[in-house]
Amino acid sequence: MFGDMFARGAVAGETGEQAWLRAMLDAESALVHALVRVGLAATEDAEAVEAARRDGRVDAEAAARRAADSANPVVPLVRELTRAVEGAAARHVHQGATSQDVMDTAAVLVARRAGGAVLAEADRAACALAGLAEEHRRTVMPGRTLLQQALPTTFGLAAAGWLHAVTGAADALRTELDRAPAQFGGAAGTLASLGDRGPAVAAAFADRLGLARPALPWHTDRGPLTAVASAAARTAAACGKVAGDLVLLAQTEVGEVAEAAGPGVGGSSAMPHKRNPVAAVSARACAEQVPGLAATLLTAQIHQPHQRAAGAWQAEWQAFDRLLCATGSAAAWTADALERLEVDPERMRANLEMTGGLAMAERVSSDLAPELGRLDAHDLVQEACREAAESGADLAEVLGRRLAGRRTPERIRELLDPAAYLGAADAFIDAALDAYRTRPEGPG
């Protein structure tokens, strides 16, 4: 019932129990290949392990049923894999490793694979935002602070701001995914059972999986995972910001954007007239889950006691998986919302003009400041704004009376034109688009 909403897009297939099982088996297989590389096992041993996987001889369901007996799923999985491997090769299954080596490496593999899906969705959202920024660089709209109209801006600049946040977050996530290392330290982080060839096995293990080589085991240093989690949380936040703004802009009283309607999409169970921004709402719902999941990981990173944790490590798994899935889903929904977004420039301009020119008060006072002094100019315009608000008159009419002999009606209308008071909006849009067009491409 909840899957389509909270497991949106390709990330759904790269998270969950099956994804973790696949990653754990990938780690076990890579370990035997690493042993072959340093001369501790033969090529046929690695082939026997691959055959057991390929032929479906590993009873993963039996392993899952017994996971609670050892407080982690690796112990029963190793037993099942060892049972499934034929001949002498079985003695090389899990050789030199501990359960945490396999589970932590699986976590990095899941993060890399799910992260690729997150980045693909974030790139889709970014592509849509870049198009909106360019298309609407001249579309004037109210800039809002504290939910009140402030100064004019453009929808293109709003989209450029969203674009820069999404791409910056995605780039940070890509960096953390690229440098997340494999885990290999053995029972107490010394690799004692492998003698002086332990570091070589660790390096070969990482290389086989395409992961960064660990400088040393990080059993109780959870930085590699919390760095990924934090970057993912930043990505979810960037998407959630876009979605939240779209929801507000789609309000009936605002009506500046809308999601394209379709059969059965965006409707209400009780109110036929409603056109709900369902993709933006769903993106926000997914993004809202991520901070709590990240907090779980940040709390659990204080691993104690001593060389291996008791409880804190186990607390990470489900939270990390759900965080990755929620982040990817937030990005996918955000991209959906943007790709079907309808922008109403006329409504934006009309909303800006609702205040009768009050949003341009700053420009008028700035124009008068050299002549009257900053404070006197501010006070004059503030009184004019108060009169306009209380009487319902346009600010141009009130200023025409108060500035008679100082400014012509034509000059006052020019000062109150929002399209002429956009500052560096164009330059900022160009900066965001340039950064987007020159950024690294591809998943982590």
* pLDDT value at residue 132: 98
Average pLDDT over residues 362-372: 95
Verify cis geometry, omega within 30 degrees of 0, for the bond prior to 277. Answer: no
pTM for this predicted structure? 0.92
Joined tokens for residue 385: 């704004």
The string of pLDDT tens digits covering residues 283-299 is 999 999 999 999 999 99
Domain containing residue 202: CATH number: 1.20.200.10
CA distance 330 to 279: 9
Residues 12/118, Cβ–Cβ less than 8 Å: no
Alpha carbons 102 and 219: distance in angstroms, whole number: 11
- In angstroms, the Cα distances linking 30 to 27, 37, 41, 206, 221 are 5, 10, 12, 8, 23
> What pLDDT sits at residue 60?
81
Dihedral sign (CA 143, 145, 147, 151):
negative
The pLDDT, as a whole number, for residue 441 is 65
Residues 207 and 308 in one domain: yes
User: Residue 327 carries which side chain, given as an amino acid letter?
Assistant: T
Whether the bond between 418 and the residue before it is cis, its omega within 30 degrees of 0, is no
Give backbone dihedrals phi and psi of 305, rounded to 5 degrees, phi first. -100, 150
Q: Are residues 209 and 249 in the same domain?
A: yes
Cβ–Cβ under 8 Å, residues 435 and 170: no
Greatest alpha-carbon pair distance for the chain in Å reads 102
**Does 443 fall in a domain?**
no
pLDDT for 307 beyond 80: yes
Residues 293 and 288: their CA atoms lie apart, in Å, by 10
Question: Above pLDDT 90, what percent of the chain?
Answer: 84
**Domain CATH code at residue 363:** 1.10.40.30
The pLDDT tens digits of the residues spanning 152-201 come to 999 999 999 999 999 999 999 999 999 999 999 999 999 999 999 999 99
268 carries an active-site annotation: yes
Burial class (CB in 10 A: 0-12, 13-18, 19+), 423: exposed
pLDDT band, residue 304 (cuts 50/70/90): confident
Total count of domains within the chain: 2
Q: Which residues contact 158 (CB under 8 A, 6 or more apart)?
A: 141, 245
Range(s) of the domain holding residue 375: 358-415
362 in the same domain as 246:
no
pLDDT (0 to 100) of residue 273: 45
* Helical (H) or strand (E) element with 24: helix 17-37
Beta bridge partners of 8: none
Shared domain check, 127 and 21: yes
Catalytic (active site) residue 437:
no
Statement to judge: residues 65 and 40 lie in one domain: yes
Lowest mean pLDDT among 66-70, 170-174, 341-345: 66-70
More confident residue, 60 or 17: 17
More confident residue, 325 or 405: 325
The Cα 181–Cα 105 span in angstroms is: 8
Q: Which contiguous run of DSSP H or E holds residue 141?
A: strand 140-145
Interval 91-112: pLDDT, tens: 999 999 999 999 999 999 999 9
pLDDT above 50 for 270: no
- Name beta bridge partners: 342: 258
Instruction: Tell whether 112 is covered by a domain.
Output: yes
Nearest to 117 by CA among 251, 10, 203: 10
Q: How far is CA 245 from the centre of its chain?
A: 16
pLDDT class of 443 with cuts at 50, 70, 90: very low
Q: How far is CA 102 from CA 11, 29, 78, 89, in A?
A: 22, 10, 10, 19
Q: In Å, how far are 175, 232, 249, 259, 287 from 225, measured between CA atoms?
A: 13, 11, 36, 36, 19
In a domain, 18, yes or no: yes
Do 345 and 367 lie in a common domain?
Answer: no
* pLDDT of 408: 94
Residue that terminates a domain, selected from 349, 373, 405: 349
**Virtual CA dihedral for 387, 390, 392, 395, nearest 10 degrees?**
30
CA nearest neighbour of 107 among 178, 32, 23, 220: 23
**Annotated catalytic residue: which of 70, 179, 193, 268?**
268
Please, what is the average pLDDT of the chain?
93
Average the pLDDT over 56-76 and give the result. 87
Grade residue 269 by pLDDT with cuts at 50, 70 and 90: very low
Among candidate residues 112, 124, 208, 308, the one labeled active-site is 308
Q: Is the same domain home to 291 and 380?
A: no
Residue 70 pLDDT > 90, yes or no?
A: no
What type of residue is 195?
A: G
Are residues 343 and 388 located together in one domain of the fold?
Answer: no
Residue 257, classed as helix, strand or coil, is strand
Of 296, 316, 349, the last residue of a domain is 349
Judged by average pLDDT, the poorest of 61-70, 232-241, 356-365 is 61-70
Tell me the two tokens of residue 106. 């699986």
Cα separation, 365 vs 362, whole angstroms: 5
- Residues 291, 402 within the same domain: no
Contact 158, 141 (CB under 8 A): yes
d(CA 360, CA 143): 11
Whether residues 278 and 380 share a domain: the answer is no
Q: How far apart are CA 396 and CA 347, in angstroms?
A: 21
- Asked if residue 195 and residue 116 are part of one domain, the reply reads yes
| Partner residues linked to 149 by β-bridges | 144
Residue 39's CB is within 10 A of a number of other CB atoms, namely 9
The pLDDT confidence band at residue 275, using thresholds 50, 70 and 90, is confident
Q: At what angle do helices 425-437 and 99-135 cross, to 10 degrees?
A: 140
Q: Is residue 434 part of a domain?
A: no
Domain assignment present for residue 307? The answer is yes
Domain boundary among 306, 321, 349: 349
Could you tell me the pLDDT band of residue 245, with boundaries at 50, 70 and 90? very high
108 and 240, same domain (yes or no): yes
| Cα 413 from Cα 422, distance rounded (Å) | 16
Give the span between the Cα atoms of 170 and 162, in whole angstroms. 12
Residue 122 near residue 331, CB atoms below 8 Å: yes
Q: Estimate to the nearest angstrom the gap between the alpha carbon of 437 and the chain centroid.
A: 19
